[in-house]
Chains A and B, each alone.
Chain A
Amino acid sequence: MPQDWLNGLIGGGLIGAGAGLYLLGAGRIAGISGIAGNVVDGLLDGLPRRALSAWSESLLFALGLLLAPIPFLALGGEIDIRIAAGAPALIVAGLLVGFGARLGSGCTSGHGVCGGSRLSRRSLAAMATFMAVAIAVVFLGRLV
């Protein structure tokens, strides 16, 4: 428990490094809802040739996330994924997260890590909104 904040800082630094690498290497924002949404939109709307390389970059970034547990576990990392929500709550939460992040143009990574760190007005407003609502929902969850 005492070293949790240190793991948080180190892990956070790596999250920022991944976002920085994507920005400086490829000029793109590491917003995961935007990346996943780009992949989904490409599949639904079809891909003109000029959009193909951006789409495949999004897909490869997502693939990097999906495969990250392999080096983590190989290096001796340990993680215990605990999900308290039941199936109905997970479905509602997933729908809200997917739809809401697309409508609001970003989530914790795009507005939080990327937009917030360049002090974008829109990202700061989005962050304040989703943090406040999430905290309120968790608080209400205590009452029921």
Chain B
Amino acid sequence: MRKIVAFLAGLVFGLGLLISDMANPARVLAFLDVAAIAEGTWDPTLAFVMGGAMAVSALAWLIAYRRSAPVFGGSLPGAPRQSVDARLLGGSALFGAGWGLAGICPGPALTAAGLGGAPMLLFIGAMLVGMVIYNRVDRMLTAAPA
């Protein structure tokens, strides 16, 4: 049952990215281009998408906090960690640089994998290589004596 839930959750998440047009990199870049505000051509759509997504997700958290376990077994996530450290901020900065460069982040990339042709597949390939590199670097850092 958990596996069916995982598949359906991905499907609904992807449909949301398609309906909101966030699977389209040009649309994401049009939001990030804040200099367009002065020109009157700025596209605020991403803010509505994020607002809608966070509102529904917040509701799910409120329900989750009242439950002791997920509906189909396992355990709910614990309280979030508190430490804002260099890895968090450095990683987010690198991620933001890549996101601004192409207008693509992981969810839209996977959702549009079959629609975006060779350029999207190139991005996805590079993204997976980036994750492989992280896996190796992380292992080296963890193995090194502190």
**Residues of A with Cβ closer than 8 Å to B?**
4-5, 7-30, 32-33, 36-37, 40-41, 44-45, 53, 56-58, 60-69, 71-72, 77, 79-85, 87, 89-105, 107-109, 111-118, 120-123, 125-127, 129-139, 141-142
Contact = CB atoms under 8 A, between A and B. Distances in A.
Contact of B104 (A97, A109, A138): A97
Contact of A7 (B19, B29, B83, B101): B19
Given A26-B74, A45-B135, A138-B33, A97 B127 contact: yes
A18 B58 contact: no
A142 B34 CA distance: 11
Given A13-B55, A137-B100, A56 B3 contact: yes
Task: Kindly list the 8 A-B residue pairs having the minimum CB-CB distance in the complex, ordered from nearest.
Answer: A64-B10, A98-B130, A11-B20, A104-B91, A94-B126, A68-B14, A12-B52, A16-B56
A44 B134 CA distance: 11
A67 B9 CA distance: 12
**Interface residue tally of chain B, by bracket?**
35 or more
Contacts of A15: 13, 16-17, 20, 49, 52-53, 56
Interface of B is mostly: helix
B57 A16 contact: yes
Contact of B52 (A16, A32, A33): A16
Interface in B92-116: 92-107, 109-116
Given A11-B18, A65-B14, A113 B91 contact: no
